Every structure is written in C-alpha cells, then in structure tokens.
Structure 1
Amino acid sequence: MEADLPRMLEVVEGLSFTIPCLARAHPPPHYSWSRDGVGGELGSVGGGVGVSAGRVWVRGAVAGGARAGPNDAGGYTCVAANGAGTDTAHFTLAVVQEIQVSAHPPVQVSSGALGPPERGQGRQFGRFFSFLVFFFF
C-alpha cells in the first residue's frame, strides 16, 4: 500500500468524502472494504466497478460518501489482493461540525445610544450591562 497516504482523515459534516487505498501490483489487485463494528464487507470490487453499501460507496481503490454524517465516523479497512499476495490498510474517518457562533440575546443599539447617556439613563444602561455580564459568565 502507499505509505504516504494519510491514515487519519477529517471531513466536515454534510460534505462529501473519499478514502483512497492505492496498491501498486501486477496483476492489478482486487480491493475489498470493511468497516469497524459493521459486519461483512462494504464492497468488494476489482477495476473501476462500483458498489454501494448504504451511505458509503466503493469504487475500486476508493471508498466514500456523498454527505458525511456522524454515523460515517470510525475505522475503515481496505484489503488489496492479487495472485502474489495481500496487503491491508486501516483508515480512521472523523466527522466534525462547523463552528457557528451567535449572540444571545441579540444586542440592539439605538441611534441615541452612541452618544453619552443623558441624566438618569446611565443607571438603566448599567443594569442592562450587568445583565449581559451575568448572562455570559
């Protein structure tokens, strides 16, 4: 198997992913894929023929999926075999979520709030600010 292929792969949830398993051999090897914790093979194919096992597809030396989800995370094993022998490579797929940040509660600034507070308004702003500090800490 190709030693320089990454064995730990990371994909953002909802995006497509591929796991390459490349062997140099003559005659060309027959590839089979399995997944940790899932009984049986995901696919066993030779050449460019493709098969699908649920959300994950296999096309020769590559396994992948159209939309990565949490259930796709885990270990994948590729076995390449021909008349001269067999070789195995194990890959780990991590599915991560994008970070989304929002402010709660939404902060609204009126046009009058940009200048110095008028008499009697400082106390109201102070209470609001104290609320924000309490809310975030």
Structure 2
Amino acid sequence: MFTYFGVEVDVTSILDDMASGRLRPTKSVFQREFIESFATQVQGLRKDAPHSTGVSLMTGVRAADVHQVPDEAYEQPLILAHMGRGKGMVNLGDGANFVLVDGNKRMGKAFFTGRTNLDVVILSQAQARKYKR
C-alpha cells in the first residue's frame, strides 16, 4: 500500500492485475534528465549526501536506504498513477496529476548510480481509480 496525502493506493493489486493481463497501463521510459530532476526536486536527494538519513516528506525515501535496493529490482517497472487534476507531483504535459506509487527507492538508486533510464507504466485516471482508497 502506498499512501499519498491520505489516499491509499493498492500497489499489490496493481501488480497482480498487470501480471494477469487485467490491467494494461501505458508503457514509457524515464530518461536521465527526469531521474535527476525527480530525485533532487521531489525526493530531496543530493549527490553530496548519499547516506543522508533525512526523509522525503513527499515519497518517504531516505538516501541511506536506496543503496540497499538490489539491481534485480530494476526489472520491475516503476508505477505512475493519476491522482486527480493538480493533485500529483509529476506533470506529463497536462498538469501535475501523477504520483510515483511504486519505485521511489529504485528512482533514488538510479539517481546515485547514474542509470540512464528506467521503465515505467502509467495508469490513467480511469485505471487508477480502482486502486485508490
């Protein structure tokens, strides 16, 4: 379960539905520029503080924790879900409507290791509605 300002998103059900084929979100890739921007602006990570224990209020990520993410975790795409008009952190061209509901630590590790891209799936407003509580 991922919680964002009181809204819970059932990530386990999203993963189950993707695995079974019941959910077919849009596939995309986050490029290095986006990874850098998200990590510094949203997660508050800094290259000069790779082991900081400060926690991002937006994502709950600590720099000290991201280094423990195994490389195999990159095989799973990040999950970006529509949270409502103007209620997100990520702007895909029509406003900040989306939130990274799964993969925040992978995003942080990618920032520190210099990874050039990350696979991501994007749930539309209609798709995300089913998983929000």
Indicate whether the TM-score tops 0.5. Answer: no
Q: Greater relative contact order (Cα 8 A, min sep 6): structure 1 or 2?
A: 2
> What TM-score results when the alignment is normalised by the length of structure 1?
0.26
| Structure exhibiting the larger radius of gyration computed from Cα positions | 1
> What TM-score results when the alignment is normalised by the length of structure 2?
0.27
Structure having the larger proportion of residues in strand: 1
Structure having the larger proportion of residues in helix: 2
